[in-house]
Amino acid sequence: MRPPIFFRAVRYLVAMLWLLLAVNIHSECVFGQEPAANEVPAENAISERPDSNAEQLDPVQVAFFEDNVLPILKERCFSCHSHDQEISGNLALDFASGWKVGGDRGPAIVPGKPENSLLLQAVRGEIADLKMPPEESLSPEQISTLQQWITQGAIDPRAARAETTATEPWWSYLPIHAVTPPTSDVNAQHPIDAFLNQKIHEAGLTTNPIVERRTLLRRLMIDLHGVVPTSEELIAFQNDNAPDAYERVVDRLLASPHYGERWARHWFDWIHFADTHGFEHDVIRIHAWPYRDYVIQSLNADTPWDRWVREQLAADAFFPNRTDLIPALGFLAAGPWDHSTAATAQTTFDYIDRDEMVTQVSSVLLSSTVHCSRCHNHKFDPIPQSDYYAMQAVFAGVGRGNVPFDRDVTVGARRQAARKLQQAAEARDASQLLTITVQKMVADWEQRNQQQRTQWAPLLEDMVLALEGTEIKVLDDHVVLATGPRPATETCIVTGHTDLSSVTGIRLQVFRDDSFPMGGPGRNDNGNLHLNEFIVEHLKEGSATPVRVPISQAMADFDQTGWTIAHAIDGNPSTAWGIFPEVGKDHTAVFQFATPLTLGPKDKLIVQLRQLHGGFHTIGKFRLTLSSDNNPQQTLLPQEVIDALAIPRDQRSDVEQLSLAAFVAKQQAIEVLNSLPSPSYVYATAPQFESLTESPFYAPWTTPKKVHLLKRGDIAKPADEAVPGVMSCLTHAPSRFQSETIQNEAQRRMELARWVTHSDNPLFWRSIVNRLWQHHFGRGLVDTPNDFGRMGSVPSHPELLDWLANELRDSGGSLKHIHRLIVTSEAYRRSSELRPEVSSVDPDNRLIWRGPSGRLDAETFRDSLLYLARSLDQQTGGPAAQWFKLGPGIQITPSVDYTNFDWSQPVAHRRTIYRFVYRGIQDPFMEALDFPDAAQLTPIRTPSASPLQALALWNHDFVLYAANEIATYCRRQQADDPVGCAFRTLFLREPTEQERLKANEFTAQHDLAALIRVLINSNEFLTFR
Amino acid sequence: MHDSNSTIKPCRREWLRHAGESFNWLALASLLSRDPLRAAEELPASETLQPSLGGELLVRPDGGLHHRPRVRRVIQLFMNGGASPMDTFDYKPALEKYHGQSLGPKEKPEGFTAPAGAVMKSPFKFQQYGQSGRWVSEVFPHQAKWVDKLAFIMSMASKTNVHGPGSYMMNTGFTLPGFPCFGAWISYALGNLADNLPTFVVLPDPRGLPYNQRGNFSSGFLPVKYQGLMLNAAAAEPIPNLRPASQFGFAQGSADQQGLELLQQWNESFAAEHPHDPQLRSRIAAYQLAAKMQLSAPEAFDLKSESATTLEQYGLNQPTTEDFGRRCLLARRLVERGVRFVQVWSGPQGAANNWDNHGSIIGELPPIAASVDQPIAALLADLYQRGLMEDTLVVWTTEFGRTPFAQGSVGRDHNGGSFATWLCGAGVKEGVSYGASDELGYQAVEGKAYCYDFHATLLHLLGIDHKRLTFRHAGIDRRLTDVHGKVIHDILV
């Protein structure tokens, strides 16, 4: 016979409190060099756990040990002699029993006898093969402290080691049980109720009745859509007499896009998503929002849970053809990013940034606190420090930035193919270029090219001017050579004529010459040149005013990275074409006119070559020629291609054929790439990304960085290099990745994703069903959603949790299936009224004898007001809605002003999910309603009631604006009974006689909006029951 | 099999988190009964407020959490950017001797913005003051007169040389975001002294927010309501949403007052329909307190009642000191009226108008020092004169120090190795100094103290054992002092 449940609860409570008082549990889990122990007295929770004899120890001696001895042991000995790190020579010094029993050489200390104590002999260096610590001796003061301690009896209050790796397996690591719903309650129609009712009945309690439809619909719509229903929606539901009326409402709500908009917000709380960096420089991430839209769309599409997570960890690797899934990679980039540390403390930064990713993956997807093992083995869960660094190593090849992607997968496929071809061409990869396809491409090109071999005629120069003082010589063949002084910049103007009657383009050839540094063709010390602008003008016979000839495109045989020929025609004098590092060689650029230019016999062409960059980046030797062909660019051929073309195809060597193929393939690839629409961008975590303008110092790297296990979490104390892997306490798959997958960055993430989403990973499936349950009922079956370890709670209904996890897995990962199961249960539909006789036994509703209740959260409150005013914008997706004024900041963080915002603007009517979340400069109104700090993962919001919140609800501009909007709606909709309309709109009911009396009296004196302000602030509206 | 007992586990953290119900009761209890004189009799005898909860959070009749407090209110003056110790309070004659020599680290340490230059002596004259003979540089002539009342910690150190993490550390005890700041912790632990004003007020420099923006005042994983209320001291109505904006005509005057009365009536009848829901009662209480705040706050922020002499003493009549002086005076008015913790920031983020003097110590430090010096001295005098120092603590802090080596030719770089702070007021020894930096002022060598020790000392003065003030978050019972912290008893009475 067990004691009544109430007494068991009290007994448990007493036990818990004793534990909390006795064991002072904490752990350092944050980056930064942990100060050495003798500098900062760190008390170790386990080692300081008081012995049952502690009271009998002399407190002066205990204090001496703790203040003087323990810091020495921690700082100089623990790294090799403690349970958290390693136990060298089988000697542990983190507990009294460790030195009492001793290691391989016997007890380390003989109390009262320093001369007989191995430990003291070792630190004094008296034993030849046992000088400790091996790297650097203790100071004389430290040795004398130890000696004094031992002489006085080696008083050590540290009791036996706490059980960090208990032998009995912990519930959350065990495989998910196959469970069938109990049959004890024959009235329970729904499997969830079968589980719940059994415990309720066992406790001798009764459940609340099913709630009436008004309360139920309100509860359901807040839950699934984040808005309260309109009175029309309620009437429709009340008038539906079909037995499955409720189920159809559930189906309709789950099928609506607003379901995803509502539940995405929970996800973003969990993963601390925001639109800015946070930290010292809180820079805007203008491309964060595509990830937000991706999450909403995935929820609406009911993407299977395991697939969804695989996408978010490694969509690029798993689904390379689905370029539209790249926004999924925003998951790992959701959290803060420290610009300053990235700029000035790179090593620290790398470990912090990967810590961010490890924390998010383990907390959100696995409900585990792997991040607690950064400085030492986990104190409570079987998670060694090496597991933590193994997970860090998974992310050693990825960084954060703007990642380009194609929403249209056909565009994406073409872009990928063209890039691949371009890369093959640049690498001269015969295996990809001497294929039938590419050879066909080459043959086709050759044929076209044969037909269109461009003829070039020289521009016959009448005058060549150099404005900055270069001496010009015109050589044979109309080649212009710069000699003499070397000005920093130069503008060269060539005026000339031609016999051609029509010109379609102009060619600039620049030539190497031994008279230039590095052989030129530029006059800079490195042989480079910069052509900032290339301008052609047409001077008609008899005219005094030259007319600019528009150039439609330009192409060069070589472009310096970032200095393409396009810069020479972009009208921007601060950008230019360059040819570094391909110096000492001839180069060619062709400029195609927008339309063919008709020339009279005495017309002139004036060509300006503006070389304004400075630093002697001027052109040393060049020639201008003209073409009348339709497509003059076709003939921009490097010498080796011209040579290859001169040989009949069947007589070419492979090398010759390859250089031709490389040229053609690259040209075609670039043509395709130029024809494609610009890519979209998402701020995400990936191996390749574009650095943000503010942080050019942070750029992608090619091979994964080395990650070391850090002793005490200190970057100054790297130990062995970490092998990529995962938590070793789970057994469904190996915890360290195979060596062949270690080198490849993408495979590391894929391995992680496979391991996380494995059908036998018990944490992965339990974690999410628990979170869903939590948001439906206000608290999870495990009420520590980010921690299923020993410091977390145990499930209130373990069988139900496993049953739900199985349901999710076996339904193909459908989250909507779980939602539907939960909200169609009787438990969900029960009245939430507190019955003292039951709540005295189960005050926290752990048995779920009553339905959920609570306060509207920040988003629901805001969206509901607009929804009821019929002015909530139904548009989905797009850039984040900024409900503030941005101004220039002192540094790169802008100023953000939330005051005096005009709420009547269309952008203010977007759903709150589309709000721009400024991580470090939060919206005070949203905060007043308990919107969490996006600097941290928020598995549970904590609703509050404070005077400042009351002031915000009563006086904030938005609320007053919305009150007025709802008043306008009511006056328009029901001019004969606006007061009744106000009650029906906000309370979904008619006013009582008493209320109507008061309301009429009030509105006789004041505006209807003033009444609506009261209704909005009332608990009947602000809470759901 | 799982333990079938597990269905009901009302352990401590559940109450704490279970905000909709019991926790709001707690909040209500806090708000109504923070005055220790009233605490004992006014605690509601609700069944949801378990007596064991008091072990962690209920204030003792003497106003402390774990022991008798010496301090009930705190003003923190935060010098944003890293105030140079060797040019203010940490006199280093050796810098003269080594001036121009290259003694600094050969490689750029992590977080330095540039490689260390040669040793640079302070461009300012130092002089001894008071009976304690404390050396103070000429940039602080007013504070110098108060050295016999101050307790210095000359051996503060930070784990980082970067502003963001450094500011987080001095405010929250951690170098990463997401942790509650000191003010949030004591709001959570002790609540307010009066129910008509906010508990924790932040007065940032009107020129801009400090590094980390509002992250320095965050409640982190504690409930959001414990975060600092950031006020614009120069605004007409510093407390936000105190009144409806004038554009909303329907919400003004008697519509406002009668509307609030109607709201309370209807909320009362709604609560009567749901008599067992404590959430409804705490929401009603919140509106009642809001109404009180509406009445009290304007007076608290209205400086008109201050005498011309007072305004002059705080420097409100001079452009240099006007702004910081106003905020110091406001801080005094707020703590006087029961605000628990006021943080006054000197200097915004960025390269100018703050204590981050990379470019030129001689050019950049004197103006910012002058802007705070007289107001601080006036604040101390005022607090003593009004008897508030009986239970008020004033602390002068910054996030880290600066290098004894030059940056460029005449600036100094960030240095977490050593910096100075002082405390003044209730429970603190007068005219003492604790710890020391090395000969150059580069590293703290004697009595090295981190934010943990500093915070532990402040909490101790407030009647809180820093090891026992915890909040369970993500599997860890988090503390302001992490796993560190030692009360610096040497500077306490």
SS3 at position A254: helix
Give the E-state strand segments of B103-260 in sequence order: 126-129, 134-137, 151-156, 200-203, 229-230
Instruction: Kindly tell me if the per-residue pLDDT of A261 is higher than 80.
Output: yes
Confidence at A740, pLDDT banded by 50, 70, 90: confident
Other Cβ atoms within 10 Å of A318 Cβ, number: 18
- Cβ-proximal residues to A134 (8 Å cutoff; 6+ apart), any chain: none
Question: For A997, phi and psi rounded to 5 degrees?
Answer: -60, -50
The burial of A973, by beta-carbon neighbours within 10 Å (0-12 exposed, 13-18 middle, 19 or more buried), is given as: middle
Using left for φ > 0, alpha for ψ between -120 and 50, and beta otherwise, residue A590 falls in: beta
Q: Are strands A895-897 and A885-887 parallel, antiparallel or unpaired?
A: antiparallel
| Chain A residues near residue B209 by CB distance under 8 angstroms | 893, 921
Q: Residue A625: what are its φ and ψ, rounded to 5°?
A: -130, 160
Which class for A230: exposed (0-12), middle (13-18), buried (19 or more C-beta within 10 A)? Answer: middle
- Judged by DSSP in three states, A336 sits in coil
Handedness of CA B378, B382, B385, B388 (dihedral sign): negative
Residue A271: closest CA among A917, A729, A717: A917
DSSP B24-60: HHHHHHHHHH-SHHHHHHHS---TTS-GGGGGTSSPP
Nearest-5° angle of CA A702, CA A706, CA A708? 165
Q: Output the 3-class SS for A514-561.
A: CCCHHHCCECCCCCCCCECEEEEEEECCCCCCCEECCEEEEEECCCEC
Q: Percent of chain B beyond pLDDT 70?
A: 88
3-state helix, strand, coil in chain A (%, to 5): 45, 10, 45
Distance CA B19, CA B30 (A): 14
Residue A12 predicted with pLDDT over 60? no
Contact B23 A942 (CB under 8 A): yes
Using the beta-carbon criterion (under 8 Å), do A890 and B208 form an inter-chain contact? yes
**Interval B342-371: pLDDT, tens:** 999 999 998 889 999 999 999 999 999 999
pLDDT score for A634: 54
State residue A6's pLDDT score: 44
Q: Would you state the pLDDT for residue A85?
A: 67
Domain ranges of chain B: 8-55, 73-238+303-491, 254-293
Nearest residue to A334 via CA among A919, A912, A884: A919
User: How many Cα atoms sit within 13 Å of B385 on the Cβ side?
Assistant: 9
- Cross-chain residue pair B159–A1025, CB shorter than 8 Å: no
Which tens digits make up the pLDDT trace of A949-1003? Answer: 999 999 999 999 999 999 999 999 999 999 999 999 999 999 999 999 999 999 9
DSSP A235: H
Predicted pLDDT of residue A636: 63
Tell the CATH topology of B73-238+303-491. Answer: Alkaline Phosphatase, subunit A (3.40.720)
How long, in residues, is chain A?
1025
Give mean pLDDT, residues A686-709: 93
- Provide the token pair at B38: 């009233």
| Closest-approach residue (CA) in chain B for A336 | B177
> Strand, coil or helix: what is A648?
coil
Scan for tokens 């008043």, then name that residue: A967
pLDDT above 70 (res A23): no
The Cα B29–Cα B21 span in angstroms is: 12
Chain B contact for A820, CB < 8 A?
A: no
For B37-45, the CB contacts below 8 A with 24+ separation are: B39/B63
Coil, strand or helix: which one is A730? coil
| Distance from the A203 Cα atom to the nearest Cα atom in chain B, whole angstroms | 10
Q: What is the CA radius of gyration of chain A?
A: 37
Q: Select from A40, A942, A963 the Cβ nearest to the Cβ of B452.
A: A40
Chain A residues touching residue B46 (CB < 8 angstroms) = none
Percentage of chain B exceeding pLDDT 90? 67
Q: Please give the radius of gyration of chain B, using alpha carbons only, rounded to the nearest integer.
A: 24
Disruptive mutation site among B202, B258, B283 for chain A (greatest number of A CBs within 10 Å): B283
- In total, the C-beta contacts within 8 angstroms joining chain A to chain B are 400
Residue B370 and residue B320 in contact, taking contact as beta carbons nearer than 8 Å:
yes
Question: A687-691, A945-949, B264-268: lowest mean pLDDT where?
Answer: A945-949
Q: Which of B5, B31, B476 sits opposite A29 (nearest CB)?
A: B476
In this structure, the number of other CB atoms found within 10 A of the CB of residue A63 comes to 12
* pLDDT value for A15: 42
Q: Which residue has the higher pLDDT, A318 or B194?
A: A318
Percent of chain A's residues with pLDDT above 70: 92
Confirm or reject contact between A571 and chain B (CB < 8 A). no
Task: Give CA–CA dist B180/B228, Å, rounded.
Answer: 10
**A43 in helix, strand or coil?**
coil
Sign of the Cα pseudo-torsion (B259, B264, B269, B275, in order): positive
Token pair 């459908």 is found at A814
Which of A195, A605, A767, A352 lies closest to B174, judged by CA?
A352
Average pLDDT, chain B: 86
Contact yes or no for A954 and B287 at CB 8 A:
yes
Looking at chain B, which residue has its C-alpha nearest residue A945? B283
Q: Which residue has the higher pLDDT, A635 or A744?
A: A744
| Residue numbers of A between 256 and 295 with CB closer than 8 Å to B | 272, 278-282
Is B284 within 8 Å of A1019 when comparing Cβ atoms? yes
**Full DSSP string of A371-391:** GGGSSSS-SSSS--HHHHHHH
Task: Tell me whether residues A936 and B178 touch, CB distance under 8 A.
Answer: yes
Interchain CB distance below 8 Å, B11 and A921: no
pLDDT in tens, A339-383: 999 999 999 999 999 999 999 999 999 999 999 899 889 988 999
Q: Could you tell me if A260 and A815 are in contact, meaning their C-beta atoms sit under 8 angstroms apart?
A: no
- B191 contacts: CB under 8 Å, gap ≥ 6: B30, B31, B34, B59, B199, B340
- DSSP letter for each residue of B157-197: --S-SSHHHHHHHHHHSSSSSSS--HHHHHHHHH--S-SSS
Report CA dihedral (A175, A180, A185, A186) to the nearest 10 degrees: 170
Interface test with chain A among B34, B176, B195, B276, by most A beta carbons within 10 Å? B176
Q: Which residues of A touch B229 (CB under 8 A)?
A: 948
| pLDDT attached to residue A56 | 64
Q: What are phi and psi of A895, to 5 degrees?
A: -90, 145
Give mean pLDDT, residues A884-909: 94
Contact across the interface for B165 and A936, Cβ inside 8 Å: no
Quick check: B285 and A363 CB within 8 A? no
Give the distance from residue B248's alpha carbon to the nearest chain A alpha carbon, in angstroms: 7
Counted residue by residue, chain B has a size of: 493
Considering only CB atoms, B270 lies closest to which of A943, A952, A1018, namely: A1018
Contact A519, A512 (CB under 8 A): yes
Instruction: Determine the Cα–Cα distance for residues A277 and A268; give it in Å rounded to an integer.
Output: 15
Q: Which residue of B has its CA nearest to A948?
A: B290
The pTM assigned to this predicted structure is 0.78
Choose among B3, B19, B265: nearest Cβ to A943: B19
Could you give the ipTM of this predicted complex?
0.78
E strands, A361-459, in order = 399-405, 457-458
For helices A798-810 and A191-202, the axis angle rounded to 10 degrees is 180
> Cα separations (Å) of A448 from A552, A626, A662, A664?
22, 20, 17, 12
Give yes or no for residue A168 having a pLDDT over 90: no
Whether A1013 and B259 lie within 8 Å, measured CB to CB: yes
Select from B9, B242, B474 the Cβ nearest to the Cβ of A786. B474
Query: Under 8 Å CB-to-CB from A142, ≥6 apart: which residues?
Result: A72, A76, A123
Over the range A651-683, which residues count as b (16 or more CB within 10 Å of their CB) and which as e? ebeeebbbbbbbbbbbbbbbebeeeeeebbbbb
Residue A555 φ/ψ, nearest 5 degrees: -145, 140
- Cβ contact (<8 Å) for A951 and B241? yes
Closest CA to A983 of A1016, A953, A960: A1016
Which chain A residue's Cα is nearest to B277? A834
Is the Cβ–Cβ distance between B177 and A934 less than 8 Å? Answer: no
Task: Check CB contact under 8 Å for B241 and A956.
Answer: yes
User: Is A952 strand, coil or helix?
Assistant: helix
Mean local confidence (pLDDT), A876-905: 94
Instruction: Check CB contact of A978 with chain B, cutoff 8 Å.
Output: no
CB contact under 8 A, B483 and A26: yes
Q: What is the DSSP letter of B357?
A: -
Q: What tens digit of pLDDT does each residue of B436-484 get?
A: 999 999 999 999 999 999 999 999 999 999 999 999 887 778 999 998 9
Taking each continuous run of H as one helix and of E as one strand, the counts in chain A are: 36, 20
Q: Nearest by CB to A960, which of B174, B248, B472?
A: B248
